[in-house]
Amino acid sequence: MAFENKSFVIFGATGSTGTALVRELIDRGARVLACSKNEAKVNAMAAELGAEGYTLDATDAAQVAQAFVHAKNLFGGVQGAVNLVGSILLKPAHLTTDEEWLQTLNLNLNTAFYVVREAVKTIGDGGGIVLVSTAAARVGLANHEAVAAAKGGVIGLTLAAAATYAGRNIRVNCVAPGLVDTQMSARIVGNEAASKASMSLHALGRFGKPEDVASMITFLLDPAHDWVTGQVFGVDGGLGTLKPMMQ
C-alpha cells in the first residue's frame, strides 16, 4: 500500500472534507494525527476511524508547532501535512468589519503559514504539504473580497514554499474547490435562492462532495506522484475556468 508506514498531520480534521480525508488515508494504510479545535468531536472521529486525535487552536502558532512535535514523537516521523482550517465570509468589502477581515485572514492564511513553517521543520527530506484555497481566489466573484484575498495569499504561499523547499524534495501543492456541500457551506447550500445562483456557475451542474476534494488531496500526498509541486488544482466543477452555457 502506497501509504503504509507513512504518517500525516491533518488540521481541520473534523470538518466534512477533513473527515473524508482522514478516512481515505486510514483506509490506505496511513497513520494520521487528526487535529481539531473540537476535542469531543476529534476524539470520537479518531476512535471511529483509527486515527490519533489531537486538540488545538490552529490560529495559535505555538500550538501548531507542538502538534508536529507530538506527531514526530508518536510516529517517529512525518511524511506530510494538510491544512483544511478555513472559513467562508460572503460580504462586500464595504460591509466587512475589521474584526471579520482579521478573523478571515487568521483562519485561512495564518493557519496555512503556520502549518507550512512547522511542516518543513518536521518532514525532513521528502514529503508533501497540501493547502486549500478556493476557486474564488482565481475568478472574480461578487461579495468574496475578504476570503478571496486570504485564499489568494494561500496560493502565493504555496508557490513560494514549493520553490524554497524543492531542493529538499518537499512538495507543496494546493487545491482550490468550488462550492462543496459541507458543514461550513450548509447556510449557502440550504438557501434555495443562493443555492440556485451558485449552482448555475458550476459547469458540471452540481456542488462538490467532500470526497471530491479529499481524493485530490490524497493524490497529492501519494509518493507515487512525487514529481508534482507548486500546482493549484481546481476541484470546482469548472467554476474557476468555465462559463457554462445558459440553459
- E-strand stretches of the chain: 7-11, 31-36, 52-55, 80-83, 127-132, 170-177, 232-235
Range of the domain at 24: 7-229
**Residue in 153, 156, 139, 136 with CA at minimum distance from that of residue 90:** 136
CATH of the domain at 89: 3.40.50.720
Would you say residue 122 lies in a domain? yes
Would you say residue 36 lies in a domain? yes
Would you say residue 177 lies in a domain? yes
Separation of alpha carbons 107 and 57, rounded Å: 10
Question: What are the phi and psi torsion angles at 172 (to 5°)?
Answer: -125, 120
The one-letter code for the residue type at 19 is T
| Chain CA centroid to CA 27, Å | 19
Would you say residue 234 lies in a domain? no
Would you say residue 235 lies in a domain? no
Would you say residue 246 lies in a domain? no
* Structure confidence at residue 164 (pLDDT): 98
Would you say residue 247 lies in a domain? no
3-state SS, residue 180: strand
Q: What is the pTM of this model?
A: 0.95
Structural domains counted in the chain? 1
Q: Which grid cell sits at 69?
A: 512535535
Per-residue pLDDT tens listing for the chain (247 residues): 789 999 999 999 999 999 999 999 999 999 999 999 999 999 999 999 999 999 999 999 999 999 999 999 999 999 999 999 999 999 999 999 999 999 999 999 999 999 999 999 999 889 999 999 999 999 999 999 999 999 999 999 999 999 999 999 999 999 999 999 877 776 776 777 767 777 788 889 888 999 999 999 999 999 999 999 999 999 999 999 998 876 5
